[in-house]
Amino acid sequence: MQDHQDAFHEWAKIYGDVMPLKVLGKSLVVLSSEAAAIDLLEKRGAKYSDRPSIPMMELLEWDKLLVFIPYGKEFQASRRLFQDQLSKKQCTSYHDRIVGHARTMAEKIKGEPSAYEKHIQYFVTSVIADVTYGHQVSGADDQHVHISNFVIEFSDTIGTQGANLLDIFPFLKHLPAWVPGAWFIRYAQGTITIVGMSYVLLTSHFNSETSTEYKKLETACFEEVRREVAADTATPSFVSNHLKNMLEKDDPNIDDILRLKRSGLHFYSAGIETLLTVISTFLFTMLRHPEVQKKAQEEIESVLGKDRLPDFSDRASLPYVEAVLQETMRWHPPSPLAIPHKVTSDDSYRNVFIPKGSTVIANVRSMTLDEKTWHNPREFIPERYLPSPLGQGEPFAKGIFGFGRRACPGKYLAEGTVWIVVVTILAGFDIRPVQDEFGEDVIPPLRFITSITSRPAPFECRLVPRIS
Ligand code: HEM
């Protein structure tokens, strides 16, 4: 089946970068250029920052998670929590701790190369647990590892089971056959939602014990930090920094406290799978482009020598590694259709009438294939970003983390986290293909699993240590 984002891309070529559609009588607008997304989602952000309504979300009690909150006061209060503690400057204060986790990851992979995926996931979980709660993950039995497994298993299920939704909701069979990426359109229209799906999947694939565990952990993590803050022993983190500020007030507001408690575990649902998606695409592209891998390793060696692993102070001196990361996210955007926005009042743009209530989709996948901005956009070419004469001086893609007032508040944390993984693996390991029974290299084909995020279909590789 053709991916919905590719279908939108083909349509955009015919109908243009502002494409109004009617699906089941509802209005949908697909934006397929950065210019249109910036004009509407950013410059007219006051109108374009709502989310399509999501029935059934109460069932999971997810309706108060920032990503689903309608535009308004509660959204602003929740959003402020994330923005205050995830600014570029604030994220820099976590860099040393993130580097420490990356070094541990490198050691673990060296000791057990065949389990590299497990160790990368452990690293991502350690970063999220540390930044969110100041919690140091203590081994495979740590509750935070269980939650991380839960989130991954859940996303995998959504990714691989999307096509089976017609079995769960037979009435959807009546949708016109031409609707591209059928389940996503239904999601965007609110006739079926990711949360609706989640509910079905939760009840059908996960026992209630697991979801109760998720709720229990939310309380346990929060209460642990609350005790540490009271005893003045808390490590600075998203929750402890906010809690300290709130408790300094004479009469902390209960709504603020509950909002903060809810926000903590949102880091796991919003961050873990997205981070792993980018890391997986990076390994995938390195297998397919050994010449790029070699060039990035040569750059690292020329700056750091062979004896030490990189840290964030090296980032500006490694433009090719930066280009590899940015090209990874442009070449295969981790969130190809971002998350739909909704318009709160009638509008018109370039002679297209956009009625109040329309769902607006930023077609990031199509944007990153713009031939006017990137030459051979379907090719993986990190050099494109380097200034002339080394490259073409092409710009980084803008929409990877969304647009406007709903753009990803975890962007700086995410970029830093994936950068340290990319540079640590390149410095410490050769990423090599596995061999088949005839001794031939197995290069993974271009196959992807797409739901809200899109990542390569499972593939194998070997991480071979390069330095002692
Ligand atoms: C590489 C990793 C990540 C990618 C590619 C990514 C991408 C995105 C995208 C495309 C959106 C929707 C933007 C829009 O509606 O225009 C989003 C929203 C969001 N992201 Fe991320 N994200 C990543 C990591 C993270 C992390 C680590 C966090 C942790 C705090 C996070 C928290 C959120 C939240 C809370 C929202 C909802 C914002 C809102 O509705 O106002 N993300 N992300």
What confidence tens digit (pLDDT) does each residue in 412-426 have?
A: 999 999 999 999 999
- Point out the least confidently predicted range of 127-131, 164-168, 300-304, 443-447: 164-168
**Is 253 a member of any domain?**
yes
Q: Kindly indicate the confidence band of residue 12, based on its pLDDT and cuts at 50, 70 and 90.
A: confident
Residue 238 CA, closest ligand 1 atom number:
30
The vertex-79 CA angle with 135 and 58, nearest 5°, equals: 85
* CB contact at 8 A, 26 and 187: no
Confidence at residue 468, expressed as pLDDT on a 0 to 100 scale: 64
Confidence at residue 14, expressed as pLDDT on a 0 to 100 scale: 87
| CB of residue 265 inside a 6 A radius of ligand 1 | no
Question: How many Cβ atoms from other residues are within 10 Å of residue 324's Cβ?
Answer: 27
Element (H, E) at 342: strand 341-342
Number of domains present in the structure of the chain: 1
Phi-psi region of 181 (alpha: psi -120 to 50; beta: other; left: phi over 0): left
Q: How far is the CA of 272 from the centre of ligand 1 (A)?
A: 11
Residue 342 has pLDDT above 70, yes or no: yes
Q: How far is the CA of 401 from the centre of ligand 1 (A)?
A: 6
**Nearest residue CA, atom 37 of ligand 1?**
67
Residue 85 has pLDDT above 60, yes or no: yes
What is the average pLDDT across 344-352?
97
**Is 44 a member of any domain?**
no
What is the average pLDDT across 44-72?
77
**Nearest residue CA, atom 30 of ligand 1?**
410
d(CA 415, CA 412): 5
- Is the bond preceding 236 in cis, omega lying within 30 degrees of 0? no
Residue 188 has pLDDT above 70, yes or no: no
| CB of residue 145 inside a 6 A radius of ligand 1 | no
**Is 34 a member of any domain?**
no
Q: Kindly indicate the confidence band of residue 168, based on its pLDDT and cuts at 50, 70 and 90.
A: very low
Could you read off the pLDDT of 358-385 as tens digits, one per residue? Answer: 989 899 999 999 999 999 999 999 999 9
Confidence at residue 7, expressed as pLDDT on a 0 to 100 scale: 74
Tell me, what amino acid is at 97?
Answer: R
181 vs 456, residue with greater confidence: 456
Residue 256 has pLDDT above 80, yes or no: yes
Residue 59 has pLDDT above 50, yes or no: no
Domain carrying residue 111: 56-340+382-465
Say if residue 461 carries a ligand binding annotation. Answer: no
Could you tell which of 127, 401, 422, 451 is best to mutate to test the pocket of ligand 1, judged by most ligand atoms within 8 Å of the CB? 401
pTM of the model: 0.91
**Is 132 a member of any domain?**
yes
What is the average pLDDT across 106-133?
97
Q: How far is the CA of 388 from the centre of ligand 1 (A)?
A: 33
Could you read off the pLDDT of 196-235 as tens digits, one per residue? Answer: 444 444 444 444 555 566 677 788 899 999 999 999 999 9
**Is 358 a member of any domain?**
no
123 vs 247, residue with greater confidence: 123
| CB of residue 402 inside a 6 A radius of ligand 1 | yes
Confidence at residue 53, expressed as pLDDT on a 0 to 100 scale: 67
Confidence at residue 62, expressed as pLDDT on a 0 to 100 scale: 62
Confidence at residue 304, expressed as pLDDT on a 0 to 100 scale: 95
**Is 35 a member of any domain?**
no
| CB of residue 422 inside a 6 A radius of ligand 1 | no
| CB of residue 186 inside a 6 A radius of ligand 1 | no
Q: What is the CATH number of the domain that holds 406?
A: 1.10.630.10
Token pair in block for residue 386: 């380097």
**Is 4 a member of any domain?**
no
Residue 333 has pLDDT above 90, yes or no: yes
**Nearest residue CA, atom 31 of ligand 1?**
410
Residue 41 CA, closest ligand 1 atom number:
16
Question: How many Cβ atoms from other residues are within 10 Å of residue 314's Cβ?
Answer: 16
| CB of residue 270 inside a 6 A radius of ligand 1 | yes
Residue 175 has pLDDT above 90, yes or no: no
Confidence at residue 24, expressed as pLDDT on a 0 to 100 scale: 62
Confidence at residue 173, expressed as pLDDT on a 0 to 100 scale: 44
Residue 405 CA, closest ligand 1 atom number:
41
**Is 355 a member of any domain?**
no
